[in-house]
Structure 1
Amino acid sequence: MLNEMQMYELSEVLMKEFAEGALEKAISSLNRAGKLADWLEMMGLSQLLGGDIFYNPKIYGKILVLGDSRTNKRHLTGVAKSMGFSGDRFEFFLDYDGSQKYNYSKLRYSDKYAAVIVGPIPHSTVNKGNYSSAIVAMETEQGYPPVVRVEKITNNSFRSAMDELQQKNLVAA
């Protein structure tokens, strides 16, 4: 438990961090984790949710599928639909070149995306920073949606990845 002076100091630091964009990142992370409503309730601000208009990426967020594929978008969308997902929840970049040029940094702190399923992609991609690949960067840095790796993108590996995301309660149909 913090004393009065420690509370004051913490308050000052938080106000400075929030002024520099930390609040937006925290809200995005809380929303992605499905905990924003709980946090707002603790703050006494649950009325800000406005009822059913609350966006939950687990239910509405896009699922990005990247990497060289042994199947096509139509078949993967069919698998997703058979699992109860809407086809428009998915973005596919199923070729080696598309995944090499994809702007991975746009995923960071974006509540548009619920998860990423990754198959074979080049190690040399844009926005990988000092990491060996963009995937390692996403798995290491905070603010990225959950990543599921598959050895190759097939109908079966896609179904398994989607099952894993559902079992971990990261996406919902």
Structure 2
Amino acid sequence: MPRFTQAELEAARDRLVPDVVADGLRVLFCGINPGLMSAATGHHFARPGNRFWPVLHLSGFTPRLLTPAEQQELPRHGLGITNVVARPTARADELSAEEYREGGRLLTAKVERLRPRWLAVVGVTAYRAAFDDRAARVGPQARTIGDTRVWVLPNPSGLNAHWTLATMAEEYARLRRAAEK
């Protein structure tokens, strides 16, 4: 992965990271918002130390460990990636409550259009803010968007030390098994 200067990362704040989507996916993973490394590279979950790609593999969603640069392979496995908020930031706490709410509205419309079997929001705090559901916990939710079921997964950021690689992989595998039914 290329190394970026702080100035190069800051310059990426205006770049959008394109969704990796297709109609009828098994699971559409939804991050909080792109980090500056993702914006600089154009690849989701690109920051070194983010555990999304290893967890995706360890949980059985992908047959091998993919790199962020291989994200276009996901639809072949029935998977996709989007974000609650499109605006890149250095930290998720730079996002406003209104950005989360608007992101939830836009995400709902996207899910209604693409019709994945499952929407998997990676980050319970982001899910709570985007969908005004303060009681949400990690796991399957009662909410549906059309026929799409919703699952909240732990945030794979390296900052989320409460969840280990192994415990995250177990939770992602629970979703994988549900998505296979």
Larger radius of gyration: 1
Q: TM-score normalised to the size of structure 2?
A: 0.39
Which structure's residues are more often helix, by fraction?
Answer: 1
Structure scoring higher RCO (CA < 8 A, sep ≥ 6) equals 2
